[in-house]
Structure 1
Amino acid sequence: MHRRTALSVSAALLVAAPLLSACSGQARPGTAAVVGGERITTAALQAQVNDVRAAQNRSGAAAAQLIQSTPGLERIKLNKMIQTEVLERAAKDAGVSVSAKEVGDFRKAQLEQAGDAGRLEQAALQQASLAPGQLDADARFKLLRDKLFDHYGSQDKAVVQLAAAAKALHIEVNPRYGVWDPQQIVLGDQDTPWIVQRTRPEQPPAGA
């Protein structure tokens, strides 16, 4: 199990935002963030949010509670999108990769542990705000993160490299979605996924 630890990154990751800002100084319409010079569009972000909301709305009696429990879903999703880019950059720098077969094997293990697809999807929706179509990407994220931890020999050493990757990407976030925190490599007050228990298949919700 990887222990929880505070991240300390002395260099600020926020820089001037020529891609985010228009001449008026306002955030450019249609841009949620810029990572490594590439835009994360509000349309791409909203598509992820809409997928989760649709899955929540299909949850019957639990729908209203699920929606009410995720008022900051846009920020949650943007945080994950940005951190995915950071992870991919750090993994590339380290020569670490995850194959489609590894993702498939992990998803198979998830399904076997949950018992059926419905239970697995509901657990992922309730516990991590993941729509069914987002499970493969989440599996890749977890596997790549754990490989990076193994590559550097410890979580703490890997986090240093993640911070370096984030700095190199010059992350800029539309203020509408919050403020990028260079100390925690996170958007706003979201929990950073680097400090977690080692990857394992999602557990079905209690009583399911």
Structure 2
Amino acid sequence: MKTTRITALAALPLSVVLLSGCGGGPVKAGAAALVGDERISVSGLDRTVRDWWPEFKADPQASANRAEPPEQQQMGGDAASESDVRATLTALVFLKVGDQAARDHGVEPTGGDVDQAIALMDQTPNSNAVSTTLAAGLPKDRVRDVARFNAIQLLLMDRFGWDHTRDSPAAQRAMQRFDQALGEAARKLKVRVNPRFGTFDPTKVAINPVVYRLSAHESGVR
């Protein structure tokens, strides 16, 4: 693999990947999300957020790199916000979707591929592998998981005709095909999110906030 830009997992929820058909159906009790036959438990999500939050607060670069509008960023509170929890859940879903895309297209990153992905993340201007992982809403001990996702991206882009030239037409086509591969994988996995954490947005690959509906009296509607 040659040096190039890496679409950091932290930025992926902002990409437009068409995942029509995802997010429907019931979610089992105790599950934050279901991704195929795999269950992301509420307790596991809570534990991940608890591990991540103090590490994120201690890393100014991670905060600077976080891929969400400034008005949605946590502003120095003592606990992770609802948007933080959604970002972590989205990242956990993406890791599983990436693994499915790799299986679908017959690629399997080696330990060396993951090591090289970490090295490339460390070469990113104003960032590094740890800050990228924290910006994605995951604790430091998930660095290799994020790097694996990035390694899968690079391997699939090679498979899709990437010419290793930044922003070339071939690179753009390969990136579009990679996005399509994620969409196909997500459809196969039938991603479902517990309504407690919001609704899955198939156009932005994001978990939207819970919408609290006011009563007719509270909303001023009689």
Range class of TM-score, shorter chain: 0.5 to 0.7
Q: 1:87 maps to what in 2?
A: 98
- Taking structure 2 as the reference length, what is the TM-score of the superposition? 0.64
- Taking structure 1 as the reference length, what is the TM-score of the superposition? 0.68
The AA in structure 2 aligned to 1:35 is V
Q: Taking structure 1 as reference, are residues 69 and 149 closer, same or farther at Cα in structure 2, changes over 3 Å only?
A: farther
Query: Contact 2:49 / 2:138 at 8 angstroms: preserved in 1?
Result: no
Instruction: Give 1:14 shift.
Output: 3.0
Q: Taking structure 1 as reference, are residues 2 and 66 closer, same or farther at Cα in structure 2, changes over 3 Å only?
A: same
Equivalent residue runs for 1:1-208 within 5 Å: 6-9=16-19, 11-17=20-26, 20-21=27-28, 28=29, 30-56=30-56, 58=58, 71=81, 72-108=83-119, 110=121, 120=128, 123-124=131-132, 127-153=135-161, 154-188=174-208
Unaligned runs of 5+ in 2: 8-13, 64-73, 162-173, 210-222
Instruction: Give 1:74 shift.
Output: 1.0
Query: Contact 1:49 / 1:77 at 8 angstroms: preserved in 2?
Result: yes
The AA in structure 2 aligned to 1:43 is S
Query: Contact 1:32 / 1:173 at 8 angstroms: preserved in 2?
Result: yes
The AA in structure 1 aligned to 2:25 is A
Query: Contact 2:35 / 2:190 at 8 angstroms: preserved in 1?
Result: yes
Q: Taking structure 1 as reference, are residues 182 and 65 closer, same or farther at Cα in structure 2, changes over 3 Å only?
A: closer
What whole-Å deviation, never above 9, does each CA across 1:13-36 have from its counterpart, x for those lacking one? 23322xx25xxxxxx1x2101110
Unaligned runs of 5+ in 1: 22-27, 190-208
Separation of aligned partners in 2, 1:170 and 1:125: 25
Instruction: Give 1:81 shift.
Output: 0.8
| RMSD between superposed Cα atoms in Å | 3.6
Q: Taking structure 1 as reference, are residues 121 and 51 closer, same or farther at Cα in structure 2, changes over 3 Å only?
A: farther
SS in 1 for 2:91: helix
The AA in structure 1 aligned to 2:190 is H
Separation of aligned partners in 1, 2:33 and 2:121: 32
SS in 2 for 1:34: strand
Query: Contact 2:97 / 2:185 at 8 angstroms: preserved in 1?
Result: yes
Instruction: Give 1:106 shift.
Output: 3.3
Separation of aligned partners in 1, 2:145 and 2:97: 14
The AA in structure 2 aligned to 1:174 is N
Identity level (%): 23
Instruction: Give 1:2 shift.
Output: 8.9
Separation of aligned partners in 2, 1:163 and 1:120: 27
What whole-Å deviation, never above 9, does each CA across 1:35-92 have from its counterpart, x for those lacking one? 10221101221222111113145569x9995557962211111101111111111110
Query: Contact 1:86 / 1:169 at 8 angstroms: preserved in 2?
Result: yes
- Count of matched residue positions in the alignment of Structure 1 and Structure 2: 175
The AA in structure 2 aligned to 1:106 is A
Separation of aligned partners in 2, 1:125 and 1:13: 25
The AA in structure 1 aligned to 2:199 is V
Q: Which runs of 4+ in 1 moved over 3 A?
A: 1-9, 56-60, 62-70, 108-114, 119-130
